[in-house]
Amino acid sequence: MNKILLYFSIFIIVSCSTEKKIAPAYKAGVVITFDDDYVQEWYDLDAAMHKYNWKATFCVCYIDSLNAKEIGQLKKMQAKGNEIAGHGYEHENARMYVSKKGLAPYLKNEIIPMENAFRKNGLLLNSFAYPFGANTPGIDKALYKHFKMLRRTYSTSKRMKDNTCFFSGNSKTVTGLGIDNSYQHYDLDFFLKILNYAKRNNKIVILYAHKPVQKVTGSYQVDYKTIETICKYVKENNMQFYTLSELHQYLPLNKK
């Protein structure tokens, strides 16, 4: 074979084999997540939001305390395209727990039992939301071996450029914006501005709440009006609903 042709062939083979896989492009949208163990309320909300063709991620703690009816409801929600994610076996603050007792006990007592409980109840487990949003880079690194995606929380800013509730496309840890009515930063118009910014800049917004209710009577509650306004905006503006673990497919190959 001609030497020039041989060298060219080797160059093509090496180039193709070392080329990094480019993550698929994503469409502007939203990841709506809910924390704790309000299974009946989540189940009712899922039925009410069905008209928007939505899907959400429900992050469960205390799973071994749930009754058969609640486990059945979670399985039905998962079968419809929602994600059932982890929120700790005993809802421990990971940062405080690891600081006091170490990483290995945290995994042994908070993560492994949760994984076993999901498996025992026939539920898939691909993502994890930190209770109290309390993470560290070291805990993240350990949990990357267990989950496709992790979600933490942060205190929001009314200045759009300071907000970090958008999927960056380069990390398995994402940051959620709280939308419970009791939060000091609660402002439905502001949430719509966040969505509008995402639409104009082709971004995915990460949101989190706790207990959905028709009428708010306490902390850690979000009213139906808030959820429905968000869903209506997403639907009318041709944006997309994502589950938390679906973001994983949009990470570069070397991040998987």
What is the rounded average pLDDT of the residues 142-156?
A: 91
pLDDT of residue 164: 86
pLDDT at 228 over 50: yes
CA distances from residue 241 to 9, 54, 172, 214 in whole angstroms, order as listed: 45, 6, 18, 22
For the stretch 135-146, what's the b/e string if a residue is b when 16 or more beta carbons lie within 10 angstroms of its beta carbon?
beeebbebbbeb
What are 166-200's pLDDT values in tens digits?
A: 998 999 999 999 999 999 889 999 999 999 999 99
Alpha carbons 112 and 92: distance in angstroms, whole number:
13
Per-residue confidence band for 24, with pLDDT thresholds at 50, 70 and 90: confident
**Candidate from 117-121, 156-160, 224-228 with smallest mean pLDDT:** 156-160
Pick 64 or 7 by higher pLDDT. Answer: 64
Per-residue confidence band for 161, with pLDDT thresholds at 50, 70 and 90: low
What is the rounded average pLDDT of the residues 124-131?
A: 98
CA distances from residue 46 to 9, 203, 256 in whole angstroms, order as listed: 56, 24, 30
CB 149 within 8 A of CB 140: no
CB 34 within 8 A of CB 234: no
Where do the domains of the chain lie, and which CATH numbers do they carry?
29-250 (3.20.20.370)
pLDDT of residue 13: 41
pLDDT of residue 30: 98
Mean of per-residue pLDDT scores for the chain: 90
pLDDT of residue 11: 38
What is the rounded average pLDDT of the residues 31-39?
A: 98
What is the rounded average pLDDT of the residues 91-104?
A: 98
E strand or H helix at 43, and its extent?
helix 39-48
pLDDT at 130 over 70: yes
pLDDT of residue 96: 98
CA dihedral 167, 80, 36, 65 (to 10 degrees): -150
Q: What percent of the chain has pLDDT over 90?
A: 83
pLDDT of residue 154: 79
